[in-house]
């Protein structure tokens, strides 16, 4: 099994803070599939810089408020 | 992950890997039975190759239309960044699966001069690399990307 990338995220927490936004709604907003949002949330996939910025814009915060180096 | 949550492209990868495996199995069953009857390696039989290609084309068209019909707009959506990366990686790795039998076939030909076997091994390599590409996609989808 491949080692997961050492990048943590607060996407789940931020979704909950934004009216329990669904994974599907976030996926639609950033232009990826729901399964990709799930993979990002679980830390199994590191998104591109573009998607990372798109996610942070959806939540109205900075990239470093969503992602962290663990 | 259940079947409903499975991405459309992973479903198609499962379907194509099964279809290609069945096609390869039926093709080589025919080649082996002809080789046994002849007492030596069967020559390349174009009818078997055509039957294999038609089987793959017809079966995959039917299965893909069924999967596409049940997937809704997900089937029409372009691959996202993670899916493109998965397809690129799987395509890259499957190249090694093609190279291994091709090199083996060349060494076999160099030692035994059996051109028929060369054809069958290279054709098998092509089949295996296609199957491997879909299997690698499934593994990468399961791993996350």
* DSSP label of B40: S
Q: Is residue B2 part of a domain?
A: no
Q: Is residue B37 part of a domain?
A: yes
Residue among A4, A32, A42 whose CB faces B80 most closely: A32
- If interface means Cβ-Cβ distance under 8 Å, which residues of chain B face chain A? 5, 7, 74, 77, 80-83, 141, 143-145
Q: Is residue B61 part of a domain?
A: yes
Give the per-residue pLDDT at A5. 75
Shortest distance between the Cα of A51 and any Cα of chain B, in A, equals 9
Give the per-residue pLDDT at B30. 94
Residue among A2, A31, A36 whose CB faces B143 most closely: A2
Domain enclosing residue B127, as ranges:
8-143
Q: Is residue B137 part of a domain?
A: yes
CB-CB neighbours of A9 under 10 Å? 19
Sole residue written with tokens 């690129």: B88
Which residues from chain A sit within 8 angstroms of residue B74, using beta carbons? 33
Domains and CATH numbers, chain A: 9-59 (1.10.260)
Which regions of chain A does DSSP assign to beta strands (E)? 7-9, 67-69
Give the integer Cα–Cα distance in Å for A46 and B133.
22
Report pLDDT digits (tens) over B94-134: 999 999 999 999 999 999 999 999 999 999 999 999 999 99
Q: Is residue B120 part of a domain?
A: yes
Give the integer Cα–Cα distance in Å for B115 and B124.
14
Find the mean pLDDT for residues A37-57.
95
Give the per-residue pLDDT at B106. 96
Nearest C-alpha neighbor of B61 from the set B90, B22, B19 = B19
Give the integer Cα–Cα distance in Å for B43 and B46.
9
Residue in A5, A32, A33 to test binding to B, most B beta-carbons within 10 Å: A33
Q: Is residue B3 part of a domain?
A: no
């Amino acid at each position: 099994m491949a080692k997961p990338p050492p990048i943590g995220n607060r996407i789940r927490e931020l979704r909950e803070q934004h009216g329990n936004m669904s994974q599907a709604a976030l996926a639609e907003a950033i232009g990826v599939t729901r399964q990709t949002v799930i993979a990002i949330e679980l830390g199994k996939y590191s998104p591109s810089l573009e998607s990372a910025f798109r996610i942070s814009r959806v939540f109205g915060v900075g990239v470093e408020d969503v992602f962290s180096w663990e | 992950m259940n079947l409903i949550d499975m991405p459309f492209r992973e479903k198609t990868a499962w379907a194509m890997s099964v279809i290609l495996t069945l096609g390869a199995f039926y093709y080589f069953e025919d080649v082996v039975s002809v080789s046994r009857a002849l007492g030596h390696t069967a020559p390349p039989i174009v009818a078997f190759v055509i039957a294999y290609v038609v089987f793959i084309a017809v079966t995959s068209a039917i299965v893909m239309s069924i999967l596409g019909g049940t997937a809704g707009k997900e089937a029409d959506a372009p691959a996202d960044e993670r899916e493109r990366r998965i397809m690129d990686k799987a395509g890259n790795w499957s190249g090694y699966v093609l190279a291994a039998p091709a090199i083996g076939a060349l060494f076999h030909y160099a030692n035994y001069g059996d051109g028929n076997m060369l054809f069958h091994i290279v054709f098998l390599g092509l089949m295996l690399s296609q199957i491997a590409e879909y299997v690698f996609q499934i593994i990468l989808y399961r791993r996350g990307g």
